[in-house]
Structure 1
Amino acid sequence: MNARRVYVGGDDDSQEQTQKSGHAYAKLSGGSLGGLLLDVTGWSPEEREEGALLITDKGLYGPGGRAFYAPGTADIDGPFLWHGDTP
């Protein structure tokens, strides 16, 4: 497995992890967290379809802001696309 960086919350680079065997990941595409992977192990299909608001200091609203990522169209197993930032 080619290890890639995994989002773990916030923007402290020292907290970033690499992929773990047996885990499911969605690639984050676009926005301030684009290129990272999101661990979706154990998420139901409904939770995956809903997406996630992820904490990021690198987004439009700075510290404490969040970036919204969700799968595109009906492909819940595809990448999570950036849909914008929120305070």
Structure 2
Amino acid sequence: MDEVEFMRGRVYGADHDNPGPRPGRVYAQLVGGPLDGLLLDITDLTGPECARGVSLATEIGRYGPGGRSAYGPRPGDPRSFDWRGDVP
């Protein structure tokens, strides 16, 4: 299994022993960029917070350790967050 297959279906920030989605939670799929294919738990985000998008810490983005990747909801599909770029 390659790295891309391994990461699919995993939740960003989840415990390594239980990396999959949990019942009763709402998830968006991250599309593109270094976190492509991961799920993001958006259960506790308000409508305006979801609309703003998120900046997620990642060591595999353009800026390496300490960098972040920005994702925002896809127009018409709030369950998909598209990559907007990496930031230091």
TM-score by length of 2: 0.82
Pairwise CA distance, 1:18: 0.8
Question: Aligned residue pairs: how many?
Answer: 81
Are 1:77 and 2:78 an aligned pair?
yes
Decide whether the 8 Å contact of 2:63 with 2:86 is kept in 1. yes
The residue correspondences of 1:42-81 to structure 2 (distance < 5 A) are 42-73=44-75, 75=76, 77-81=78-82
TM-score by length of 1: 0.83
Pairwise CA distance, 1:43: 1.1
Are 1:8 and 2:17 an aligned pair?
no
Pairwise CA distance, 1:24: 0.2
The CA distance in 2 between the partners of 1:16 and 1:82, in whole Å, is 25
Decide whether the 8 Å contact of 1:7 with 1:16 is kept in 2. no
Aligned-pair identity in percent equals 43
Considering only aligned residues, what root-mean-square deviation do their CA atoms show, in Å?
A: 2.2
The CA distance in 1 between the partners of 2:29 and 2:12, in whole Å, is 10
CA 1:64–1:42: 2 relative to 1, 3 Å: same
Pairwise CA distance, 1:25: 0.2
Pairwise CA distance, 1:76: 5.7
Secondary structure of the equivalent of 2:65? Answer: coil
Structure 2 gaps, min length 5: 1-7
Decide whether the 8 Å contact of 2:30 with 2:83 is kept in 1. yes
